[in-house]
Chains A and B, each alone.
Chain A
Amino acid sequence: MPDERSNGIDRRTLLKLAGAAGVLAGCSSPPGPQKLIPYLVAPEEIVPGMPLFYRTVCRECSAGCGVTARTREGRVTKLEGNPDDPVGGGALCARGQAAVQGLYAPERFHGPARRAQGGRLESVTWDEAEAALATALAASRAKGSPPGVWLLTRPEPGSAGALQKEFIEKLAVPPGRRVVLEPFDLSALREAGKRLFGRAEVPAFDLEQARTIVSFGADFVETWLSPVELARQFASGRGKVGPERTRLVWIGPRLCLTGVSADTWLSVRAGGEAWAAVALLRFLCDPTQGIAGLAREANAIFGALEGFDLAEAERQSGLPRAAIASLGAELAQRRPSAVLGPGLLSSGADATELAVAIQLINYVLGNIGRTVLYGLDPLEDPPSPPSDLRAFLTAAAAGQVDVLLVHHADPCGTLPTALGAAPALARVPLVVSFSGVPDETTKRAHLVLPDDHPLESFGDITARRGVIALSQPAMTPLWETRSTSQVLIEVASKLPAPATPLPYDDFYSFVQSHLGKLFPGLSGDELAAAQRAAQQAGVHVGKVEAEPVVLRPDPGLLRLAAPGPPPQAGLALVVFPTALRDDGRGPSSPWLNEVPDVLTNVSWTAWAELAPATAKRLGVNDGDVVTVATSAGRVTLPACAFEGVREDVVAVPLGPEALALVTADLDAGSGAPAWQAARAQVDPTGRRTRLPRLSATPYEEGRTIVRTVSAAAPTVPALPATGKMYPAPSFPVHRWAMAIDMDRCTGCQACVVACYAENNVPVVGPEAMTRGRNMAWLRVEHFVRVEDDQPRVDLLPMLCQQCGNAPCETVCPVYATYTNPEGLNAQVYNRCVGTRYCSNNCPYKVRVFNWQEPEFPKPLNMQLNPDVTVRSKGVMEKCTFCVQRIRFGENAARDAHSPVNDGAIVPACAQTCPARAIVFGDADDPTSRVAALRRDGRGYNVLGEVNTLPAITYLAHVRDEGP
């Protein structure tokens, strides 16, 4: 143990005040074998049955949303957004919700391991492992200067990154050999910023201000940049009817979720986005259009684009001139706007050109500084330029790398296979992986030194300039893992002379000293107080303003007008990430595998998406196994028809299959991989498979399930009044109700995963999914309709409607389900005998039956919420608006001798919704938000004509056909 008072702070006090404390022994930095045993003398902070909350930060992607970890009896059971955090704003995405399954992943490494003879990994002690690494590093250093040591890391914009840099320096390794790998880094945006404004930055965005958002393949509600934050900003302009409602235009070859939320889809040819963007830029700058209020460089830009061939742009982008013109007219009129991109979906060989055009559009429209903000990129540990990665791969392939350290970067599992990371790694004599779970790189690693899970370790990251998120352990490490930063300190101390050890006792003291730098000018008690406040909030928010930019005189615009190769016939490959599967490793946890993709509702497998017309032309039906081949590789996948892809596209979700297909082509401007638009060949194999999917049809089949409104008809017509035989039900205590705004909902499915986490919903696996036995209490249904050749996807989150007149209740022979005095449709699991009559009679089909004994493979069972029963086989189960959370809130109110305040009780789904589309409250309280929303003109009940009197009011999506 280090001397805790050496830093002037009592660490124990600090943690306690961080709303935490908990198992302090477990939070101490030198992790050792810690066993979870019942307390003989319980720590005073832990009250059995009461949750303890720890503020920390999500590391599932680089956005850095703050989270609150709920622990019970010393173990984390659920993650929720940290409301004090300006990035996540209290919400979490699906992957953030599933991070807790990463903590309890059964496949996690239990301790350090070394590749033995025969290729198996065998356990070693930490001392042995660190000594082996120190020896190898010393040997490499002895061979010559600079040593053949490389470090591949994910971005670590905080203490961990700073320590890595110091470590590299100690070894006399040039900084360029520390490659910060972010597979989907927006290098093109950085490059464009550099060329246009002299700022190699990824801008931040303020979409709340934007009246029209145009997205060139930037799927910002799912995966792009900081999806939780951007979805929240975007949704703040939704839920209105009329001109003040934010309009969204999606330009891409496939309708991702952002496209589903969009009011207009401009179906651009894959690879033709840059042409469309330049054509738009040209339209805006064209003096004959007479657009007022443009940046003064507009004329010069137009001059540079004089020779731009509009006919060629039409051919290359597949978008008619009229579509560009009407988009341009809208942008001219509705200001400020925001033009977003490129995203992975538009990152082809000319991604930089696209980025340049996009930022110029933003510039001439005056969006920069208002909705597009430069000067907020922390630049603390930005992803390395793509050339650094290529330099590494070249060196590795040439046998010049002696030791490769891989820290949470998986070059073999996240980069296109064609880049050759795997064969390059095979030539490295010592690959050291710090990954906590097996991945493609650990398969090739000689030494695995598993890092602690973020929920088990200290750290900090700078999410953006001025926003420092702090992470702290929420529980004792499960296994004999060790923080990578700690390992680096210990390895440095084991290095033979002339190396000197790093001057830190442990990583915790390094973090402390690093954080001290965040509060310049403070010392003593003031510094301690500031640090305490930051720990307690989980985040430190400094005051940082966006900076103005100046357009450089010669940004190299002429390149934009250069003619490209003629469009090729055949299919173009489009690879896309989804909210559930971010990088090439595919879904990382059982929940993310089980929750179906929202647009195809396929789970547990990747698929090849084709437009129905294309599928018909190729003679392919849903579930037919096809081969998809590009010049890079060939994979077999089940086919799946989807109206939201262009007919000249085959789309494959990111995963090993997509990585095998992406070619080695690069974006000429930035040097990053060109992910999109490789020529692809699709052939049926003649085999069929049953897809593990939720629904057999994506259409409404001539029925009206989902309703929409428009500016012309802003209210949903009321149902015709009919005579009622029975009095309307009344509820003596509360009438818990929910309103779901479908104009805000983006379909990200964070709510679905949150429900799995909160309610101990079991995962059934692909086989049961093919048999229609998904157990989710909440699912996002979708209905596709094609209007004027333009597919529209209507989403519908479906959960128990808590009917006032519930059809399920009357048919249950044993009273296992009944309406309680608070209007909840309660389910008594112990009483259920399993007739399934309630499910048959439920028009929403939101009751799920336990066809088998639920399985929670150890240690995933440690995640189970102790407030919720684990149901057994043969029992019907369902959503009850998180009745355990309702009871918790009611008890808290009773203890405080106060009524339950509106908003004090939030079900898990509403809590995590990034778009804030779900509002929960007491409908009988006329002042509650939900009561107001139930009276909204857009409100309707799904299947209201059945007279089930649901507690859920859906607020209709607004159809906005034009500005």
Chain B
Amino acid sequence: MSSLASSREIQEKVLATQGRPGAVHALLIVAAAAAAAFGAWCWSLQIRYGLQVSGLNRPVGWAIYITNFVFWVGVAHSGTLISAVLFLLRAKFRTAVYRVAEVMTVFGVMTAGLFPIIHLGRPWFAYWLFPYPNERHLWVNFRSPLMWDVFAVSTYFIVSAIFLTVGIVPDAAALRDATKGWRQRFYGLFAFGWQGTDEEWRHYARAYLYFAAFATPLVFSVHSVVSWDFAVSILPGWHSTIFPPYFVAGAIFSGVALVVTLLVPLRRILHLESLITPWHLDMTSRVVLLTSLVVTYSYILEYVLAFRGPPSVERSTLAYRATGPFAPLFWTMVACNCVIPLLLFLKKVRARPAALLVICVLVNVGMWLERFVIIVTSLSHDRIPFDWAGIYRPTFVEVGITLGSLGWFFLWFLIFVRLLPVVSISEMKEASVHGVEDAA
């Protein structure tokens, strides 16, 4: 850790982020709101005219919406990983970045959760997916992976929202004491009457540890469950036992990459360069590199398994993936996920936030494409060749809803960073004190 900020400095820096948004920030909020509104309008078209406004067909019953769902759930992974797993592992670089990751998690799940509803033929009956007592004695099918999704995602949302709220308590108290007016009342709400006594701190630290321990399995369970949407089916290209670890690695990969994608501009806009330092970015990008290697390994494994042994439908599907009409997307994905992240082996690249930003944006493009390619190419190429209909092409409604989901996510995020501290004041202070002690 290079330059350590003093406690006062940390508090002032973070407090400075909690003000009226500047012109750039305000513009971004308006742009995000506009995108979200456009997406909502597109969805209204879909509700009105049915899914004919999408490019879906038989056999391609899922495409961009489910891609977006998996992508956003994946993105949401980094939050728990960074805050809970790295907390338990006592990784020091986590302190500066974990709040961003947690916020991203909560809003990522909120975005992801829209898509299972959007993709329904009759979204107005989405509540039927919940097992609630009803006069018709209808129940849900717990054998369906979609049902598991409902529970995995809602559990994950609840736990990560609680984790975020708990983490904010001391910070909110600090800000409550430093502000006046409506902000004071607002922070007071999140401070839950926090006084900062030793007793409170002792309970808090213990509670936080338990939450971290409780959340850690979710890192592995949620995306394993999401991968079961595919792995449990019998569709060649989906039906594969390596999907759970492969999807978890991919999720962490894309999630951490998105953390970096958000941090780099954020530290400039909010003037947090001294708190979120190149060292933090360096350490985070190493996680990106590691998961990239895991993902590359999974890709290779998938092909090796299919191409060893007798010819199979799965082999044909994977060959189609790499050589068929979707091959440009497949090879773009390979470039983004497997080749470009190798640059992170270079210290010089890791030290340059701009380079990291470019790489991490490409990683997210690649990871989005990965899900798209898995979903669409497998569906396009099922067992009976007569069913191979024309090529799936997304329509403006699907693209619009996807843009809208980005707008929706960033709208929440951009508002959040002006209302609550995006860097943990208490943990940064603690780290600076420990750092001084370590130096001494």
Interface residues of A (CB under 8 A from B): 690, 694-703, 705, 768, 770-774, 781-783, 796, 798, 807, 810-815, 831-837, 839-841, 843-845, 847-853, 872-876, 942-943, 946
Contact = CB atoms under 8 A, between A and B. Distances in A.
B57 A852 contact: no
Given A696-B390, A702-B316, A845-B59, A873 B384 contact: no
Given A807-B234, A876-B121, A851 B316 contact: no
Contacts of B311: 702
A952 to B, nearest CB: 14
B144 A833 contact: no
Contact of A811 (B56, B233, B384): B233
Nearest to B139: A815
B129 A813 contact: yes
Given A705-B384, A843-B382, A833 B58 contact: no
B62 interface: yes
B141 A849 contact: no
B384 A844 contact: yes
Contact of A840 (B128, B138, B144, B233): B233
What range describes how many residues of B lie at the interface?
35 or more
B408 to A, nearest CB: 22
Interface in B86-139: 116, 119-123, 125-126, 128-129, 138-139
Contact of B122 (A698, A701, A834, A843): A834
Contact of B388 (A697, A705, A771, A815): A697
Nearest to A701: B385
A841 B146 contact: no
Contacts of A783: 385-386
B410 to A, nearest CB: 28
30 contacts: A695-B388, A701-B316, A702-B316, A705-B386, A772-B59, A774-B58, A798-B384, A807-B234, A810-B141, A811-B233, A813-B140, A813-B146, A815-B139, A832-B122, A833-B120, A833-B125, A834-B121, A839-B58, A841-B235, A844-B384, A845-B384, A845-B387, A849-B58, A850-B121, A851-B56, A873-B121, A874-B121, A875-B121, A943-B383, A946-B234
B122 A772 contact: no
Contacts of A810: 141, 143-144
A836 B56 CA distance: 10
B57 to A, nearest CB: 3
B58 A773 contact: yes
Contacts of B138: 814-815, 831
Nearest to B238: A840
A698 B122 CA distance: 34
Interface stretch (B17-25, B44-52, B203-211, B328-336): B44-52
Given A845-B58, A849-B121, 5 more contacts: A810-B143, A813-B141, A831-B138, A840-B61, A845-B384
A849 B120 CA distance: 11
The interface residues of chain B, by DSSP majority, are classed as loop
A833 B121 contact: yes
B61 A836 contact: yes
Contacts of A839: 58-59, 61
Contacts of A834: 51, 120-122
B147 interface: yes
Contacts of B144: 810-813, 837
A694 B389 contact: yes
A873 B124 CA distance: 12
B122 A874 contact: yes
Interface in B366-395: 379, 382-390
B313 interface: yes
Given A695-B387, A783-B386, A833-B129, A874 B146 contact: no
Contacts of B313: 703
B150 interface: yes
Nearest to A771: B57
Contacts of B235: 840-841, 843
Contact of B126 (A782, A833, A844, A845): A833
Contacts of B55: 771
Nearest to B230: A840
A650 B51 CA distance: 39
Contacts of A851: 50-52, 56-57
Nearest to B320: A701
Contact of A943 (B60, B384, B388): B384
A694 B234 CA distance: 23
Contacts, number: 174
Given A701-B385, A946-B383, A811 B146 contact: yes
B25 to A, nearest CB: 39
A904 B141 CA distance: 35
B323 to A, nearest CB: 13
B52 to A, nearest CB: 4
A695 B389 contact: yes
B145 interface: yes
Given A703-B313, A832-B121, A834-B120, A696 B52 contact: no
A782 B121 contact: no
A852 B141 CA distance: 26
Q: Which 4 A-B pairs have the closest CB atoms?
A: A834-B121, A874-B121, A772-B57, A836-B61
Contacts of A807: 233-234
Given A702-B311, A836-B61, A849-B61, A812 B386 contact: no
Contacts of A798: 384, 386
A21 to B, nearest CB: 42
> Which among B49, B129, B234, B316 has the greatest number of chain A C-beta atoms within 10 A?
B234
A552 to B, nearest CB: 52
Contacts of B229: 837
Interface core residue of B60, B61, B121, B386 (most chain A CB under 10 Å): B386
B234 A873 contact: no
B385 A697 contact: yes
A843 B313 CA distance: 12
Nearest to A946: B234
Contacts of A812: 141, 144
Contacts of B123: 833
Contacts of B234: 807, 841, 843, 946
Contacts of A702: 311, 316
B122 A833 contact: yes
A812 B385 CA distance: 25
Which residue, A696, A847, A872, has most C-beta atoms of chain B within 10 A? A696
B385 A814 contact: no
Contact of B145 (A695, A773, A811, A836): A811
A699 to B, nearest CB: 6
A874 B147 CA distance: 19
Contacts of A698: 386
A491 B311 CA distance: 76
Contact of A814 (B60, B140, B384, B386): B140
Contacts of A845: 58-59, 382, 384, 387
Contacts of B122: 832-834, 872-875
B61 A773 contact: no
Contacts of A690: 390
A12 B229 CA distance: 64
Contacts of A774: 58
A879 to B, nearest CB: 14
Nearest to B239: A841
A831 B128 contact: yes
Interface string B234-269: 110000000000000000000000000000000000
Nearest to A796: B386
Interface string B298-325: 0000000000000101001000000000
A696 B59 CA distance: 12
A665 to B, nearest CB: 39
A762 B191 CA distance: 59
A841 B237 CA distance: 12
A835 B386 contact: no
Contacts of A833: 120-123, 125-126, 128-129
A849 B60 CA distance: 11
Contacts of A946: 234, 383
A781 B388 CA distance: 12
